[in-house]
C-alpha cells in the first residue's frame, strides 16, 4: 500500500482496511488541526488506487470493512467516486461496509439520490466533524461552514439511509466560551440527531494557528475539570432519539460511553462523581493523551 504521509481513521475503523484515495484535506484551514498541514490536497489517480486494491487483495481479500482516507474523500466528484466504489466492492467478496470522512461542503455537493447511489455501492457510514454547535466558535476556528448547512448535510446523510457519526471537540471555545460551547453543542446534537457522537478534547498541536493564539494569550485552554464540566453540560443539553455517545478517545481525561437518552442519568452521575472527588488518579494521565 503506497500511503502518503500520516494516515488517520476513526476509532471504530480500527479493524478496517485503510485505502487512501485522497491525500490531505480539501479544507485544511481549521486552526486546531495539524493533521494534514504537510500535505497538498489531491485525489489519487484511478490507476494508483487500483494498484493498492490489487495489492490488498493478496493479504486481505476477505476483509469485511474498508475505510476510505484521507481527510475528506467524499469531496471526490461522483463520476470519479463511483468507479472507485465499484472497484472496492468487486475486490472484496466479504465486504460489509465502506466508511468515509465527509465535511459539510462535500456532503452538500451531492444530492440525496447521489448519496443513495453510494449507499447502494456499499458506503454505510459517513463521519462528519461538527466540532461545536456555537457559530461563534466555528467562525473563530475557521471551520468554513454554518450550523444551518451542517444541519442540512446531516439530514442528507440520514435520508440516504447511511449511518451518521459525528465528532465534537471539548474545549474548542476556550475558557471564555466554555459553557456556551457546551450548551449549544448539546442542543445542536439534539437537532441533527446522529446515530453516533464521539467527543474528543482539544489538544494544542505545535505549529497550528491555535497554538500561536495560545502563545499570544488569545486562547486559554480549559483545565481537565473544566473540560469535564463541559462534558456534563453538553450531555445535559443533548436529547436525541437514540444515539450512542462516547468520550473514550485518547484525547479525553475521562472515558465514558452510553446510549442516550436511555443511560443519560447514569453517565451524568459518573461524571459528577469525578467532578466532586477531584481526584487526579481518576483521570487519564497527561502523558497518555493523544490525537
Note the pLDDT of residue 61: 82
What is the per-residue pLDDT across 119-135, written as a single tens digit (0 to 9) for each? 999 999 999 999 999 99
Judged against a pLDDT cut of 80, whether residue 291 lies above it is answered with no
For the record, the C-alpha cell of 152 comes out as 442540512
- pLDDT tens, 69-112? 998 899 999 999 999 999 999 999 999 999 999 999 999 999 99
Q: For strand 123-131 and strand 42-43, is the pairing parallel, antiparallel, or unpaired?
A: unpaired
The pLDDT value recorded for residue 71 is: 87
- Specify the pairing of strand 42-43 against strand 22-23: antiparallel
SS3 60: helix
Confidence band, pLDDT 50/70/90 cuts, at residue 290? confident
How much is the pLDDT for 222?
A: 97
**Using alpha carbons only, how large is the chain's radius of gyration in Å?**
19
Residues shown for the chain = 291
| pLDDT (average), residues 208-232 | 97
Residue 156 burial (C-beta neighbours within 10 Å; 0-12, 13-18, 19+):
buried
Residue 287: what pLDDT? 86
Domains along the sequence of the chain with CATH: 11-288 (3.20.20.70)
Encode pLDDT of 15-73 as tens digits.
Answer: 999 999 999 999 999 999 999 988 899 999 999 999 999 999 988 889 999 999 998 89
Using DSSP's 3-state secondary structure scheme, residue 283 falls into: coil
Q: Please say if the pLDDT value at position 261 is more than 90.
A: yes
**For residue 39, how far is the Cα from the chain centroid?**
19
- Rounded mean pLDDT of 195-206? 96
Q: Of 289 and 196, which is predicted with more confidence?
A: 196
DSSP 115-171: HHHHHHTTEEEEEEEEE-S-HHHHHHTT----HHHHHHHHHHHHHTT-EEEEEEEET
Taking the mean position of all CA atoms in its chain, how far away is CA 250? 14
Residue 250 has a pLDDT of: 87
Which pLDDT score is estimated for 215? 97
Give percent above pLDDT 70 in the chain: 100
pLDDT digits (tens, 9 = 90+) for 135-171: 999 999 999 999 999 999 999 999 999 999 999 999 9
pTM: 0.95
- Containing 192, the helix (H) or strand (E) segment is helix 178-192
**CB 258, CB 265: distance < 8 Å:** no
Identify the CA nearest to 142 among candidates 185, 103, 182.
103
What number is the average pLDDT over the span 194-207?
Answer: 96
Contact 193, 160 (CB under 8 A): no
Residue 220 has pLDDT above 80, yes or no: yes
Amino acid at each position: 500500500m503506497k500511503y502518503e504521509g500520516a494516515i488517520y481513521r476513526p476509532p471504530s475503523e480500527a479493524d478496517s482496511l485503510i485505502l487512501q484515495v485522497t491525500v490531505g484535506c480539501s479544507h485544511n484551514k481549521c486552526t486546531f488541526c495539524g493533521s494534514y498541514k504537510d500535505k497538498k490536497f489531491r485525489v489519487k489517480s484511478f490507476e494508483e488506487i487500483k494498484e493498492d486494491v490489487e495489492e490488498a487483495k493478496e493479504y486481505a481479500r476477505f476483509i469485511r470493512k474498508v475505510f476510505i482516507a484521507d481527510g475528506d474523500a467524499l469531496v471526490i466528484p461522483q463520476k470519479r467516486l463511483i468507479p472507485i466504489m465499484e472497484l472496492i466492492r468487486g475486490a472484496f467478496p466479504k465486504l460489509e461496509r465502506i466508511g468515509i470522512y465527509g465535511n459539510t461542503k462535500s456532503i452538500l455537493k451531492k444530492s440525496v439520490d447521489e448519496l443513495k447511489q453510494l449507499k447502494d455501492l456499499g458506503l454505510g457510514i459517513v463521519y462528519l466533524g461538527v466540532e461545536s454547535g456555537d457559530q461563534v466558535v466555528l467562525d473563530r476556528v475557521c471551520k468554513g461552514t454554518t450550523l444551518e448547512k451542517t444541519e442540512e448535510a446531516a439530514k442528507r446523510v440520514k435520508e440516504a439511509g447511511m449511518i451518521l457519526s459525528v465528532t465534537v471537540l471539548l474545549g474548542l471555545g476556550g475558557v471564555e466560551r466554555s459553557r456556551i460551547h457546551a450548551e449549544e453543542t448539546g442542543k445542536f446534537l439534539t437537532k441533527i440527531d446522529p446515530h453516533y457522537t464521539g467527543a474528543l478534547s482539544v489538544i494544542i498541536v505545535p505549529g497550528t494557528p491555535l497554538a500561536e493564539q495560545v502563545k499570544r494569550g488569545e486562547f486559554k485552554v480549559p483545565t481537565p475539570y473544566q473540560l469535564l464540566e463541559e462534558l456534563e453540560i453538553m450531555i445535559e443539553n443533548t436529547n436525541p432519539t437514540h444515539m450512542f455517545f462516547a468520550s473514550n478517545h485518547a484525547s479525553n481525561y475521562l472515558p465514558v460511553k452510553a446510549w442516550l437518552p436511555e443511560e443519560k442519568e447514569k453517565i451524568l452521575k459518573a461524571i459528577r462523581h469525578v467532578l466532586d472527588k477531584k481526584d487526579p488518579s481518576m483521570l487519564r494521565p497527561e502523558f497518555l493523551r493523544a490525537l
